[in-house]
Amino acid sequence: MSPAILESARRLAGAEPGELPMNFREKTAWLNVIAMAAAYTLYFGLLLSGHPAGREVFPMLWLFGSVAVAHAVTVIVGTIILSAQAPKSERARADERDRAIRRRGAAAAYYVLLVGMMVVGVYMPFVESGAALANCGLLAIVLAELVNSVVVLMSYRRGWHG
């Protein structure tokens, strides 16, 4: 495709010259990264500051449940808003490229989760127990999901050459 055609398409999509427009799936990935970073930074920050959820299971369940619900509500409301603003063509079913990008993100996240769960399941039972063990497992899950979203974002921004 010629550079002039690409530049015209970018202008029609509302992007600045020299900048790629974001599609609907990329916007939802950004939404997920921002919501996860905000919610779980708060959660793990409270744990590090000495919140009882770092030592006891019941406060941990309440705190994590509250943060997870806040994260879910933020993503759901944000996705509804993004869906209302996006043209119907952007919200179409995922094509082959979108599915390949999702697979790439899931594959990277799998290895992060695998290492995290090996640490939690093999090493940590000998040095920690209870809420600390559960919180490390939650950290592994959160990090894996963040890796998934970041790989998806990078694949959309840099282009997928699968």
Give, in order, the Cα–Cα distances in Å from 82 to each of 69, 88, 111, 149, 154: 20, 11, 30, 17, 20
Q: What is the pTM of this model?
A: 0.80
Mean pLDDT score, 26-50 = 93
Find out whether 67 and 43 touch, Cβ atoms under 8 Å. Answer: yes
Judge whether 17 lies within some domain.
no
Alpha carbon distance 21, 14 (integer Å): 7
Nearest C-alpha neighbor of 67 from the set 42, 100, 32? 42
Distance CA 88, CA 101 (A): 21
Instruction: For residue 30, tell me if it sits in a domain.
Output: yes
Q: What are phi and psi of 159, to 5 degrees?
A: 90, 145
For residue 144, CA distances in Å to 38, 86, 106, 135, 149 come to 16, 28, 9, 14, 9
Radius of gyration of the chain (CA): 19
Six-digit token pair at 32? Answer: 């997920």
The number of distinct structural domains making up the chain is: 1
Dihedral angle sign, alpha carbons of residues 45, 51, 56, 62:
negative
Domain that holds residue 68: 22-158
For the chain, give the percent of residues with pLDDT over 90. 53
Residue 126 has pLDDT above 50, yes or no: yes
pLDDT digits (tens, 9 = 90+) for 62-108: 999 999 999 999 999 999 999 998 887 777 787 888 889 999 999 99
Burial of 155 (0-12, 13-18, 19+ CB in 10 A): buried
Q: What is the mean pLDDT of the chain?
A: 85
Decide if 112 is inside a domain: yes
Query: Is residue 5 assigned to a domain?
Result: no
Per the domain annotation, does 13 fall within a domain? Answer: no
Is 35 domain-assigned?
Answer: yes
